[in-house]
Structure 1
Amino acid sequence: MIFFLLVLLGFVSATFGSLLGLGGGVLLVPVLLFLTTAIPSVPVISPQEAAGTSLFVMIFTGLSAVRAYWKQKQLDIRRALLFLTGIIPGTLIGTSTSSIVQTNDFMLYFGFLMLVITGCLWLRQNTKPMETEKKNKRVLMISTAVLVGMVVGFLSGLFGIGGGSLMIPILLVWFRFPVKVVVPMAMFIVLFSSLVGASAHFVAGHIHWWYALALIPGAWFGGKCGAWLNHRVKSRFLLVIMKIVFVLLALMLIYQGLF
């Protein structure tokens, strides 16, 4: 029963992650932490293991989604590589830092991060992107992209969220790229940040293999499903649901972190 619940969790988190370019870790990590406290029969998992397992699972989400977006010819790899130059070292630093963060502090910080992400998603819904390639070139500065990538990579490695949930609002609000460019680009970034973060967490022994094996099948098909739904479902409605879920999970994590 628990195995099938985890398969479903992997599918749902990957579908939302691929559909909106979020990666899925921002939903997967808090739910994993919640399951270990709410269901006695579920194996206990530490915050570091939740982060490492989430990043490992997101490799398969990213591969599935990027493969689908590549077939649809929607990937802008040239722009994504600019951010990866900062994300990779940032992810390694964040992963190293996660080992010294206490459980209560982890939940508290993660809760506040989710509230920030919810606010960024609100900005996404109310920001009109630039229309032309010329304007995008003027806005995108290499140094800024590398700096942003380092910050996002650090938070990705620390919390196991892949980085897409942060890159999406940054690319839309700050760099003002069109949505059709942003979502596939974010999933490409998630793939490589997850590879780096999961490798570092693997060395540190932070991957819970029982959870990973249960989550991967759902994550693979969820990544495909999200990419397929990307141009078939209105994202505004999904963003409303996502924001509600994020706020509820954030409040739960903050409560657990404080008490």
Structure 2
Amino acid sequence: MEFILLAVIGLTAGIIGALVGLGGGIILVPATLFVGINLGLIDGITPQSVVGLSVIMMIFTGLASTLSFMKAKTIDYRSGLIFFAGSVPGTLLGAFVNKGLDLPAFNLSFGILLIFLSTLLLVRDYLKPVGWFVKNGKQRTFIDKMGETHLYGYPIWFALLLTFVVGFSSGLFGIGGGSIIVPAMILLFLFPPHVAVGTSMFMVFLSALVNSVTHISLGNVPWLYTIPVVPAAYIGAKIGARLNQKMKSETLVIALRIILLLLGIRSIIDGFMG
């Protein structure tokens, strides 16, 4: 029974993670904790083991998505490597600082942040485009399936600073950085939504490889539970990446906005209940 539940959670996390570039861990961790601890349906679940399971899963969701987005040519590898380089030291520092964390206060503030990002995506068509980052940075172009050319870009120093902060938040609070970096890529750097998602999943793959070393060495990975989760999440990520390629840019932004809103509400509720 618990293997079936874990497979369903892994499949769902893979689909949603690859669809909007969030990696899937932000779905898997709360769902597994709820089913395992609150409902008591999965034995031996602890917050540490769930995070370890999530990191291993994200290696495979990241790989499956990256392979799919490679074929669709919607990954900006150079940007992905720059963003990854900025996030790694932030992640390490965040993990070190995390001991004095007041979790309820964080859940509350993080939930407000997600709802704020969701609202920005809602009104982005009415905002004056943030062209400063594109004009003052390395400019790049992308031609979509409709033949439309998109101009986007960023100053490298700012991208490194931003991803350091995202990495720090990720390491400190155990959250997926994609929930912040994808909206930032779309709103600040004017990334086409499909390229933002593809590049985010490339970063998820690289980050999960680095993070897995720590969690394996700490003995946090429940290897038995990876048996149902990893194949289901891999298949889910393939499905999510395929759905992503069939969606229009605007539909993709709407999906991202709804998921950020729901995650934000859940995080606020966790903050009040904690």
TM-score between the two structures when normalised by the length of structure 2: 0.81
Distance in 1 (CA, whole Å) between partners of 2:93 and 2:106 is 17
What SS is found at the alignment partner of 2:219?
A: coil
Answer yes or no: is the 8 Å Cα contact 2:13–2:236 preserved in 1.
yes
Unaligned runs of 5+ in 2: 140-152
Q: Which residue of 1 aligns with 2:163?
A: 149
Give the 3 Å change call, closer, same or farther, for CA 41–180 of structure 1 in structure 2. Answer: closer
Q: CA deviation at 1:246?
A: 1.4
What SS is found at the alignment partner of 1:34?
A: helix
Distance in 1 (CA, whole Å) between partners of 2:122 and 2:197 is 14
From 212, 216, 219, the equivalent of 1:205 is 219
Q: Which residue of 1 aligns with 2:49?
A: 49
From 112, 120, 124, the equivalent of 1:123 is 120
Q: Which residue of 2 aligns with 1:250?
A: 267
TM-score between the two structures when normalised by the length of structure 1: 0.85
Q: CA deviation at 1:37?
A: 2.6
Give the 3 Å change call, closer, same or farther, for CA 92–212 of structure 1 in structure 2. Answer: farther
Q: Does 1:93 align with 2:100?
A: no
Q: Which residue of 2 aligns with 1:188?
A: 202
Q: CA deviation at 1:90?
A: 1.7
Give the 3 Å change call, closer, same or farther, for CA 163–215 of structure 1 in structure 2. Answer: same
Give the 3 Å change call, closer, same or farther, for CA 140–239 of structure 1 in structure 2. Answer: closer
Give the 3 Å change call, closer, same or farther, for CA 118–54 of structure 1 in structure 2. Answer: farther
What SS is found at the alignment partner of 1:177?
A: coil
Give the 3 Å change call, closer, same or farther, for CA 211–161 of structure 1 in structure 2. Answer: farther
Structure with the higher fraction of residues in strand conformation: 2
What SS is found at the alignment partner of 1:75?
A: coil
Distance in 2 (CA, whole Å) between partners of 1:164 and 1:247 is 14
Distance in 2 (CA, whole Å) between partners of 1:114 and 1:213 is 32
Deviations 1:156-190 (A, max 9, x none): 23344342111101111222222122110111111
Distance in 2 (CA, whole Å) between partners of 1:21 and 1:254 is 25
* Pairs aligned (count): 253
| Larger-gyration structure (1/2) | 2
Aligned-pair identity in percent equals 35
Q: Which residue of 1 aligns with 2:76?
A: 76
Q: CA RMSD in A?
A: 2.6
The amino acid that maps onto 1:137 is: K
